[in-house]
Chain A
């Protein structure tokens, strides 16, 4: 079974600074997908970024980027120029490759990120 571990329950950073959230996972699969989801206080979960394990290039989405270390099974999220709207719970998630009918998201326990004005 796959597991996802987020070892930082809470983090805070000053507005405009850069912050990195950590995630490690365990799997025996060679290909898989990793995600970072954001859950603001309004509760609606939003996809931030997605990474396919076979792709060596780290994914980026505007101010959000990942550091994917496949051998170390590490998948960290870097938020640059942090904004007050980035305040939220951040969840790391894993799913197996597109194998018809066998995909589901496995989530970590989350990191509560607070951006300080």
Chain B
């Protein structure tokens, strides 16, 4: 059983560019959450998708947007990249929205470097 997978593993972009990160949830999971983990920091919640809709959003600007597909996979898009967007982007999947009761499984992350 494949766990949560993310692509690409590493990415280098320049300021002002746009980037798309992809996530495939663990088999049987229908909810995907995205987190940004800056170097030396804990992950920060970006948003959560369930039934192809954004259900919750953290304190991130509109430059961060996402999408969930009918097969539950998800994309994270970041427009007009800033140097401060350099981070490890983590995807986590779970069954349903109750992340307190249902264990979230994390992917290995995508390391984004903005130059």
Contact = CB atoms under 8 A, between A and B. Distances in A.
B42 A47 contact: no
Contacts of A105: 33, 35, 43, 45, 99, 104
A108 B104 CA distance: 17
Contacts, number: 66
A33 B100 contact: yes
Interface residues of B, number: 27
B108 A109 contact: no
A78 interface: no
Given A47-B103, A107-B42, A108-B42, A101 B56 contact: yes
A103 B99 contact: yes
A109 B41 contact: yes
Contacts of A62: none
- Measured as residues with beta carbon below 8 angstroms from the partner, the interface class of chain A is 20 to 34
A113 B88 CA distance: 20
Interface string B46-63: 001000000110100000
Interface in A86-113: 91, 93, 95-98, 100-110
A103 B99 CA distance: 6
Given A45-B43, A45-B90, A104 B104 contact: no
Nearest to B59: A1
Given A101-B56, A104-B56, A110 B42 contact: yes
A44 B108 contact: yes
Contacts of B35: 105
Interface of A: 4, 32-33, 42-47, 50, 52, 91, 93, 95-98, 100-110
Given A45-B106, A104-B99, 9 more contacts: A33-B100, A43-B108, A44-B109, A45-B92, A96-B100, A104-B33, A105-B43, A105-B45, A105-B104
